[in-house]
Structure 1
C-alpha cells in the first residue's frame, strides 16, 4: 500500500539526528517500484491464465457458507468522491487533482483511511485498527486503474492480498465478469476480488482485518466493498495548503492524504502530500513519480505545535518565516516546524533544487486542523 505513512514507517537512517524522514520516503518508494518490476513477468503469466477463465465463468466459486452481517458504513467523505452519477467509461488518465472514485461502503474497524491519485490509478484504503507494530499487515485496499492499463499495474503487496494469489472465476460484480484472488493455502478463500468496473478498465479490492475473522467473512467484506465501488462525477482534491508562484504552474503527478481515527505512528491526526513535476512534464506509466520534481508534505500532530518528529528530524538549524526549521546542507530539503501548527516539508528527491525558495510558494491554511475545511490546491 503506497501511503505516506507506509513510506515513513520503513525509514532507516545512518544518522537520524541530521536527516529528515521525508527524504527516506523517496528511498522506500524506489524499493517498492523495483520489487514490482521484478515480479512483473510472473504476474503477466498468471493474469493471462486468469483472463482465459472468464470465457468459462461459472458463479459461486467463492466461499458459499452463510455469514452474519458485518458492521460498516461510509468512508471519510474527504477521501472519496460523493456519488452523483455512474461514469459510463473510465478515462485513459486520471487527474491527481480530481477525485472520481466513490466507495459506498467499508467495514467497521479501520483505524486510518487514506486516498491517493496518480494519472494511472486511484486508491482508497486503510489499516485495520487491530494492527500492531510487527504484526500482520491488515486492512482494506481499493484500487481502480485507468482505462487500458493492464492488471500487472496492480501492486502485489496490497493489504489483504494473499501471497502468490491464484485467480479463479467468481460471481460477477455489478454485472461485470470477476475473479477471486484466492490464497492457495486456504481452498475456497476470496479475500481479494478483481473485475472490470468499466470497459477495458480494472478494479481490485483486498481485505484482511477484524471484520474478516474467517475466510467466508473476509470474502463477504471484499465483495460488499467491491459492489459499492463506482466512478462518479469528479470532485476537487482539497489540501491543508495552496500553491502559488512557480509551484502553481507545475504539473501535479500525485496527491495523497491519510486521516487517522486516533493517531498515526508519530501522533499525527493527518498527513497530506503532493508530488509536482516541472511544468509541461508528460509522465509515463513507467516513471517513478516519487523521483520526479519535488514534493510538499504536511502533517499535524494535535497538542504539539511544532509537529517535529523528535526521533527522526534533525535539530532546527535555521528559521523560515519566523519558524524554526531544518534545512539540508545542499538546500534540497527543508522542514518547517510550527507553521499553522504543522510540520511542513518540501524536498527535491533528485537532489536538484532550492527547497527554501519552493517553500515560499506554499501557503498553509491558517487553521488546517479539520480536513473538511481544506481548500483546493490551486
Structure 2
C-alpha cells in the first residue's frame, strides 16, 4: 500500500514512464491492480496519476469536450425495462459528470469506485464494486463505457500473458438490443464479460469476476439494473486557485462501506496545450485529492500520520524534488487534503493553492455519490 510520503516517488515514476512509449493498458485491470496497493482512506494521489478530483468547468480539447446527451431519467430511479443505456453514444467524456450508477449489486462488494475522463487506455467511464482481498486476486463487478466507435478491449491478466479470445454466446436483451458474452483464455477465477450497445455506436462492457454462484447470471442482473444519466458529480470541495493554463482531465471517486467507512475523491489537471496522446497528457499533472481523516499513530502502518510542518494551523507533510511538490494537510475539519504537483505550479505552489480549496460544511460526514 502507498502512503502520502510515497506520492512524490510515484509521481516521478509515472512521469518518466508516460514519456516513454508504452502498451495501452486494460482499464479495469490497471485500476484494480493499483487499488490493491492502498486503502481508500489514503489522501494519496490518484492511481498512476490517471485520475483525480475537482470542481472546475474545464475540459480537454478533442478528447474531453462537453458534448454529452441529456439524461433519459433522473439518477436514482429504476430504469424502464431493457433501457440500459443513454440516448446517444458519448463522443467525448466530461470528467465532471456521472454517466452510470449501480442499481443492484450482489452482497459482499464493499469497495466502490467511479472514474471518468482520461483513463489509462484513453477517454472513458469506469465504475466498479469489489471486495478488498488484501493483495489477493481482484473480485468484483466493473462496467466500462467506451466513447463512440471505440471497441471493448480484452481483459489484462495478472500473469502478463495475452488473453486470447474464445467464442461468444448470446446474452440478455439490453437497451432494446442484443448482447453477448465473450470468453478469453487465462481467467484465474470464474469470469463473465458481457457486452452491449448502451447507445448506437457506443459499447458497454460489464465484467464479473468470482462473484455469485453463476457469474453470467450475476452479470445479467447487474446490467439490467444499471442507471444511466448525466448529472454533475458531487465533490467534497471546490478549488478556486487552479491556473488558467490547466484543464481538468479526470476524476476519481471511491468509498468503502466497511467500518470505519472511508472515502476518497480526486481531480487531475494537465496543461491545455497537450492533446491527442494520453501518455503525454498524463506525464505532467496537478492533482487535488480529499479523503476522510483517520489518526493513525502506529509508525508501522502505511496510513501513519507523519507531519513535518504546519499549513494554515494544521499539521502537514511537505516534500518534493526536481520542481515537483507533494503537500498533505491533515485533519481539516475531519478531512485530509493532498496536492500533488509535477512542476506545473511555481515553487511553493502547493502551499499557495491550499487556501483556495473550500471543503463542504462537514467533511467527516460527507459521502460520495456511490453511497447507497
TM-score (norm 1): 0.67
Could you tell me which runs of 5 or more consecutive residues in structure 1 were left unpaired when the two chains were aligned: 1-8, 41-79
> Which of 315, 325, 328 is equivalent to 2:316?
325
Query: Counterpart in 2 of 1:122?
Result: 125
Q: Quote the offset at 1:135 in angstroms.
A: 2.4
CA contact (8 A) 2:8 2:325 kept: no
Q: Quote the offset at 1:148 in angstroms.
A: 2.2
> CA-to-partner distance for each residue in 1:254-308, whole Å, 9 max, x for gaps?
1111111115xxx661111111124x45643634654342001111145x39999
**Is 1:295 aligned to 2:292, yes or no?**
no
CA contact (8 A) 1:275 1:289 kept: no
Q: Quote the offset at 1:355 in angstroms.
A: 1.9
Q: Provide the alpha-carbon RMSD of the alignment.
A: 3.9
Could you tell me which runs of 5 or more consecutive residues in structure 2 were left unpaired when the two chains were aligned: 28-73, 80-84
Q: Quote the offset at 1:309 in angstroms.
A: 9.3
- How many Å separate the matches in 1 of 2:99 and 2:299? 34
* Greater relative contact order (Cα < 8 A, sep 6+): 2
Q: After superposition, where does 1:1-378 map in structure 2 within 5 Å?
A: 9=1, 11=2, 19-21=5-7, 23-24=9-10, 27=13, 36-37=23-24, 81-83=75-77, 87-118=86-117, 120-128=123-131, 131-152=132-153, 156=156, 163-174=163-174, 175-184=176-185, 191-209=192-210, 211-213=211-213, 217-229=214-226, 231-232=228-229, 234-246=230-242, 250-263=246-259, 269-278=262-271, 280-281=272-273, 283-284=275-276, 286-287=278-279, 290-302=282-294, 304=295, 311=302, 315-330=306-321, 332-349=325-342, 353=346, 354-372=349-367
Show structure 1 runs of 4+ deviating over 6 A: 28-35, 305-309
Q: Which has the higher helix share?
A: 1
TM-score (norm 2): 0.68
Q: Quote the offset at 1:204 in angstroms.
A: 0.7
Q: Quote the offset at 1:317 in angstroms.
A: 2.4
CA contact (8 A) 1:306 1:342 kept: no
CA contact (8 A) 1:332 1:348 kept: yes
> CA-to-partner distance for each residue in 1:346-371, whole Å, 9 max, x for gaps?
01235764222222322223411233
Higher gyration radius (CA): 1
Give the 3-state SS of the residue equivalent to 1:106 in structure 2. coil
